[in-house]
Amino acid sequence: MESNKKIIVLTGGTGFVGTALTVSLLKRGYLVRILTRDKNRYEDKKSLPVEYFSWDPISGLPPSEALEGAFGVIHLAGEPVAGSRWTQNRKSSILKSRTLGTQNLVLGLEKLKEKPSVLIGTSAIGYYGDRENEELSESSELGRGFLPEVCRQWEEETLKAQLLLRVAVIRVGIVLGTESGALGQMLPIFRMGLGGPLGSGTQWMSWIHLQDLVDLYIFVLENNTAGIINGVAPNPVSNKIFTRALSQSLGRPAFFPAPKTAIKIAFGEMATIILSSQKVSSTKALDIGFKFNFPNIENALNDLLSPLGIKGAYTLKAYHWLKAPRERVFDFFSEAANLETLTPDWLNFKIEKVSDPKITKNTLIYYKLKVRGIPIRWKTLIEEFNSGNFFVDRMLKGPYKNWHHTHTFSELEGGTLIYDQVYYTLPAGIIGNFVALVWVTSDILKIFNFRKTKISEIFKT
């Protein structure tokens, strides 16, 4: 790895936001170190060319060797707020993971002879509490309740580092991405046509597209920005409008509202996350020069759920880094015969015919396989082909309504980063979505995990 590259240390770097941020940082030429509780788990995967260091945020200081020489630190780590009811123990874990973890990180920075240039902390718009129709800026007063108090203490601990280095804190809104987060939890219900407004539906939702949030962190890293910044898109919407936009992007009805009382019974105190109204301004982010790629909810949801005009598409994104030259890796993938090597035996995958001796644009590939014992024939068109860089295959005949797979290869850290992006839908509407949710998605993940293991063996990574 090149020693003249700037080093960024990430906490929470293996999570939903952290993974996307890691990829973007690597693509921009940074070296990335990740502090994680489970170093061995991620080192074994080696999906990306980063260094992992063991750290339990509430148990002590981070290892000094992880922080030494760093240009910046981005602090994302914290126990998930959603996912289970807020018992007293759960609330204690949520608070301690943020306050003690941040205290320990700042103490670790304090002990360094040479400090990084910047610390970017994380908070949430939960700071404001339930504020109905009030327009909220970074200077708005603290709300009432558990989450506002967590955010207050979290920010307070981060801002103590201002005596050491430049400090910024991003108050993150509802992050929209298909892999996880609020949208990821909503999607199964909405895909089945069982979604609808939450409570009255009049509560404001201040949201941000995952990629815009990642870009905001990097913008703050690279520019002389400090203090509190709201990480939200310029156009908040009511829950009713959000529900309508989500329904349209998926091509599914959303006529089943969830009553406020039922939500409170189901989630207890945690229902405040779902029912609170927060109309948060992004004026500061805009004033410092940040540009949103997805300022409107319709554009954001269409990008995530209707890519290439495929309504309700499921998305799979996979990264795999190999310490091997790009030309060698690309040549391997562009040989149709190697598809059989990269496919698990339980699919009984066999190529029947290829229209060209070497894959190129407009090549047709015919093969057969078995999916859960059912024989299937598949016809693929290589829709685009850029030698050494990428190719796109699209299913012309087979079990899916749509299948669009982009394979991208780029040079990174003395090796090759393989990026797969798959969009797919099944026929039969709601029934197809049920099949996708129960079986297909997990099968595709198994196939890609097998392929990753096999490629690593072949290239001896």
What is the extent of the structural domain holding 63?
7-300
Least confident of 64-78, 184-198, 422-436: 422-436
Whether 400 is covered by a domain: the verdict is: yes
Whether 34 is covered by a domain: the verdict is: yes
Last residue of one domain, picked from the residues 300, 330, 350: 300
Last residue of one domain, picked from the residues 300, 327, 359: 300
> Do 397 and 336 belong together in one domain?
yes
> Do 39 and 132 belong together in one domain?
yes
> Do 126 and 32 belong together in one domain?
yes
> Do 324 and 225 belong together in one domain?
no
Q: How far apart are CA 406 and CA 393, in angstroms?
A: 7
Amino acid identity at 387: S
The answer to whether residue 44 scores a pLDDT higher than 70 is: no
> Do 350 and 283 belong together in one domain?
no
Whether 328 is covered by a domain: the verdict is: yes
What pLDDT score does 20 carry?
96
Percent of the chain residues topping a pLDDT of 70: 98
Least confident of 141-145, 162-166, 406-410, 457-461: 457-461
pLDDT band at 434 (very low <50, low <70, confident <90, very high): confident
> Do 238 and 326 belong together in one domain?
no
Q: Mean pLDDT across the stretch 99-113?
A: 96
Last residue of one domain, picked from the residues 300, 325, 352: 300
Provide the CATH number for the domain around residue 23: 3.40.50.720
What pLDDT score does 3 carry?
62
What pLDDT score does 1 carry?
44
Residue entry with tokens 């945690």 = 270
> Do 268 and 404 belong together in one domain?
no
> Do 291 and 331 belong together in one domain?
no
The answer to whether residue 142 scores a pLDDT higher than 60 is: yes
What pLDDT score does 324 carry?
94
The answer to whether residue 144 scores a pLDDT higher than 50 is: yes
Whether 350 is covered by a domain: the verdict is: yes
Instruction: Kindly give the pairing relationship between strand 207-209 and strand 174-176.
Output: parallel
> Do 122 and 71 belong together in one domain?
yes
Q: How far apart are CA 159 and CA 118, in angstroms?
A: 12
Q: Mean pLDDT across the stretch 339-356?
A: 93
Characterise 349 by phi-psi region: left (phi > 0), alpha (psi -120 to 50), beta (else).
beta
- Mean of all residue pLDDT scores within the chain: 93
Q: How far apart are CA 410 and CA 26, in angstroms?
A: 11
What's the total number of domains in the chain?
2
Percent of the chain residues topping a pLDDT of 90: 79
- pLDDT tens digits for range 252-274: 999 898 888 888 887 788 888 88
The answer to whether residue 47 scores a pLDDT higher than 90 is: no
